[in-house]
Structure 1
Amino acid sequence: MTILVTGATGTVGRHLVTALLAAGHRVRALTRHPATADLPDDVEVVRGDTTDVDSLAAAFTGATAAHLINFGHGYRPLDNGDQVAAAAVRAGVRRVTLLGGWAEGTLEPAVRSSDLEWTHLRPLEFMANTLADWGPPLRADGVIREPHGDRRSACVHEADIAAVAATALTTDGHAGQTYTLTGPEAVTPRDKVRHLAHATGRDLRFEELTPQQARELWTADPPSLQIYRVAPGGPAEKADFVLRLYADTPEAGRTVTDAVQRVTGRPARTFATWAAEHADAFRP
């Protein structure tokens, strides 16, 4: 069968394309920029955008399953979810996985109320977020400066998200399920620095900041880049949001689940594994 992967050039999408190809499936990849997609030769690459439903008709046609993401440009939730779900149904798509976060957009309810066999994937913090957040400071001077260094996150390897999606798209028994996806342990920023130090062979350090010191750092001119991805508003609003989140991480964000192992039949990957795979990104 042909499986459409939206977000195919993204953090999870590339892993999903690889997993589906390895299992012998035909893969169609949706991207806004086919010329720079850099996907394997045996992937059918089509131009399209989930925010433009008219561009989806050809992408859905002939596909029996699809991996959907609930956000568009700038990680903003889609506002045309009902149109996307309807286009998939019209094209004959039968089964979908839906990658979403803690907050629902318009796509989740539209898919649930449709005739599609859906599986909702709700990962917690991506381990890959560490690349953007910590890569620059660790390459520069080997020090992470943040408040609340003992906060915990049950972060998940992006390849495990893809593995769950591949299983749900190609095997029975997952329709109507919502899977909260985590790694096998809840790790602290101090833990992450320790794992990255071991992986890189460098003397990396975590430096605890007070909330006020962090706010000053994050709102300096130019402001720290690491807070720009997670909250709306200007630097001050973003800093305040992150400080509240770090001071009181929601229970769901630090609670480990066994969903990856239950669905895929193998344990979730650890942060130490992720760090070893990406060690070069944290070296000067």
Structure 2
Amino acid sequence: MNRTPRTDIPPVLVTGATGRLGRLVVGRLLDAGVPVRALVRRREAAATLPPEAEVFTGDLTVPASIAPALTGAAAVLLVWTAPPGTAEAVVARLAGQVRRVVLLSSPHRTPHPFFQQPNPVAALHARLEGLLAAAVPETAIIRPGMLASNALLWWAPAIRSGETVRWPYGAARSAPVDDRDVAAVAARVLGQEGHAGGDHVLTGP
């Protein structure tokens, strides 16, 4: 497949580009011809990214470090894996340099007991959503439920060894969503106009 990015459109910045979802979003955008910037904390971590992605080093805990990657970017996928202390400063940087931010959040607003447990990650996501809504002209939220790939981390070793598969909420229903489906939605919202204000809860199959 020809992944030569178009030169007539500005690039999209993907934070968390070497993570499970970020890597897939990078590939989806490149497949669509969208030029991609990949933000990584360590350049050597980008060795497995597609060569067509332009790599920038930066760290969300050092907001000034992401400024070069933001310059001239059309949109940003914000995957927050850092401590929350620099959230306001990072959002201020985003607001000053890009019009569109897509946040990878969680379905913490969903009235389902599985997502209503006390959760510091959900509290952080709610805070980021508020900051972005107040500062960035075009914000969209993507809220995947449980990622299907989590099974590889949580249950695959027990299954392979013939052990009991354990889960703290055995009676709780959930609808795991494939990482590739989440990436497809993220790439669509990042690469197309008309998704400002979108709030997308994603479930499987």
Scaled to the shorter chain, the TM-score interval is 0.7 to 0.9
Structure 2 unaligned regions, length at least 5: 1-9, 109-121
Give the aligned length: 179
Which amino acid in the other structure matches residue 43 of structure 1? A
Does 1:3 pair with 2:12? yes
Does the alignment pair 1:36 with 2:45?
A: yes
Higher relative contact order (CA 8 A, sep 6+): 2
Gaps of 5+ in 1: 184-269, 271-284
Matches within 5 A, 1:93-172: 93-101=98-106, 102=108, 103-105=122-124, 106-141=127-162, 143-146=164-167, 149-172=170-193
Q: Which residue of 2 aligns with 1:178?
A: 199
Partner of 1:69: 79
Q: Secondary structure at the match of 2:173?
A: coil
Tell me how far apart the structure 2 counterparts of residues 53 and 138 of structure 1 sit (CA, whole Å).
42
| Partner SS for 1:13 | helix
Which of 22, 27, 33 matches 1:13? 22
Letter in 2 for 1:67: L
Scaled by the length of structure 2, the TM-score of the pair is 0.81
User: How far is 1:80 from its partner?
Assistant: 2.1
TM-score by length of 1: 0.59
Distance in 2 (alpha carbons) for counterparts of 1:146 and 1:167: 33
Within the candidate set 80, 84, 98, 2:86 is matched to 80
Q: How far off is 1:115 after superposition?
A: 3.3
Hey, what's the Cα distance between the residues in 1 that align with 2:185 and 2:128? 20
| 1:22 corresponding residue in structure 2 | 31
Distance in 1 of aligned mates of 2:135 and 2:96: 11
Amino acid paired to 2:143: R
Identity across matched positions, percent: 42
CA displacement at 1:148 relative to structure 2: 5.6
- Aligned-residue offset at 1:156: 1.0
Aligned-pair CA distance for 1:170:
1.6
Q: 2:94·2:136 contact (CA, 8 Å) conserved in 1? A: no
Contact kept in structure 1, 2:38 and 2:56, CA below 8 Å: yes
